[in-house]
Structure 1
């Protein structure tokens, strides 16, 4: 699990994806793979229209339609290669020593699954090419990738800001404790202040869970702030992030209790829709 993968699709977030990927690759001292996937549904490698009603006997029209699809796919491939070359040059300027490029036909989720064995982090835009014009829509592939990927995902907004602080949504469950352990041991946020935020009632048990997280992070050299607040999960987390001007929100893909409902329900979509800063999803 060595490389950082940047998913390049030509959306408004592509430049930010490249910059966040370069930052992550530098922090992790890892090679960077720039990945562009041509969706077979939009750019099929071969088109068979013979079964379409009304077209079966019109061979010339079928040939012309197939040729048009082939030309569209070829242009999309060339355009993707150009994006990858530009992203590679930008990553090199950002100081990444090892940058590779890869183009594939198929599905993004399946492509990432094929590459999981040598992946440390996947970076992709919150708003894909089809949703760039509407900030209230997350990319069509994002939710699927979140639910299927087995590697951490860094979801980026359309603009880049070098991270200087981070907060983790924490509920004291085994899943979020694992997330704290991953953060403590990873060089991704080395030297940054870490805010551990629990949205729940103020109890002795919750205070003890926060103290465990604080002690673990401090033992790995982090400056730590622990916070316990009541309220609804999404507005409370976003409110604290805005109040403290925190650059990156970290959460687990699946949790328990209140966070479980938050992370697997409609609130997840709301959280991502309203996020203007990167969100790191841990597995």
Structure 2
């Protein structure tokens, strides 16, 4: 398996250039094309008695959006460089909705993990929404990261369809890694088939070890992150939202915790 097309969400925030550099480096490594994507909806100005004032306000917002999209494109072009096949797509649209539609033609989507920190910035797509709706593997890049070596990869394994899809999506990375560590955490870890997954990855040419991590149900994300740090890994592969997203938002879950706190890149599939 290989990666032929990568799509990266771009905005005007301080993490955007680093995220593009991560995506561009992967595009070089896999000889893939890279497409930058940016979008934002115009704000709803609401009813106005003064039609002239309403039109002026709308025109002002359109000019502002055009300037933001132009700056986002400049960020993309400067960070991507000129030695890869690159394209650009932008729209007056919701950031998540536009990115999800464009994802029909890509292998991997690269997004930031800082949507909550962005607050009012509607150009920053929410990674959880993109993961749930795109039907594509999503590489979530935390703030401060600008290169992904992926020489040591942790597979956060749980025997669920989402995790199986994540392992398949990770095969291009796995085949190039120095070491792959399959880690199953929790009270049921020994029944999750981690050894079989390790054997599967070995058949794809990976150097694999199997690891069972002892962790209470509410501390699985912390256990995985501690293990990844101890093993000097820089990529975590995992399924996303095995439970409903609403349940995770209400009661917590591994996906939610990783999206909030992981200092490492996470390749997720739903």
TM range (shorter): 0.7 to 0.9
Q: Which residue of 2 aligns with 1:136?
A: none
**Relative to 1, partners in 2 of residues 1:216 and 1:10: Cα closer, same or farther, differing over 3 Å?**
same
Q: Which residue of 2 aligns with 1:14?
A: 16
Among residues 154, 160, 163, which one is paired with 1:176 in the alignment? 163
Among residues 213, 216, 219, which one is paired with 2:197 in the alignment? 213
The answer on whether the counterparts of 2:9 and 2:36 sit within 8 Å (CA) in structure 1 is yes
Q: TM-score by structure 1 length? A: 0.79
The answer on whether the counterparts of 2:100 and 2:130 sit within 8 Å (CA) in structure 1 is no
Q: Does 1:63 align with 2:52?
A: yes
Q: Name structure 1 gaps, 5 residues minimum.
A: 134-138
Aligned length: 256
Give CA-to-partner distance per residue, 1:202-261, whole Å, 9 cap, x none.
Answer: 77644xx222112221222212121101113112111111222210111112437xxxx8
Q: Which residue of 1 aligns with 2:212?
A: 228
**Relative to 1, partners in 2 of residues 1:67 and 1:204: Cα closer, same or farther, differing over 3 Å?**
closer
Q: Cα offset for 1:35?
A: 0.7
Cα RMSD over matched residues? 2.9
**SS of 1:191's equivalent?**
coil
Larger Rg: 1
Give CA-to-partner distance per residue, 1:27-62, whole Å, 9 cap, x none.
Answer: 33221111110223x3x6xx5x5x34xxx2xx3xx4
Q: Does 1:156 align with 2:137?
A: no
Distance in 2 between residues matched to 1:226 and 1:264, nearest whole Å = 32
Give CA-to-partner distance per residue, 1:85-121, whole Å, 9 cap, x none.
Answer: 332232125x4x2101111111122212322321111
Distance in 2 between residues matched to 1:180 and 1:20, nearest whole Å = 20
Q: Which residue of 2 aligns with 1:111?
A: 98
**SS of 1:9's equivalent?**
coil
The answer on whether the counterparts of 2:239 and 2:269 sit within 8 Å (CA) in structure 1 is yes
Q: Cα offset for 1:189?
A: 5.8
Q: Name structure 2 gaps, 5 residues minimum.
A: none
Q: Which residue of 1 aligns with 2:181?
A: 195
The answer on whether the counterparts of 2:7 and 2:108 sit within 8 Å (CA) in structure 1 is yes
Give CA-to-partner distance per residue, 1:149-192, whole Å, 9 cap, x none.
Answer: 200111111222332321111023344234333323x2576234
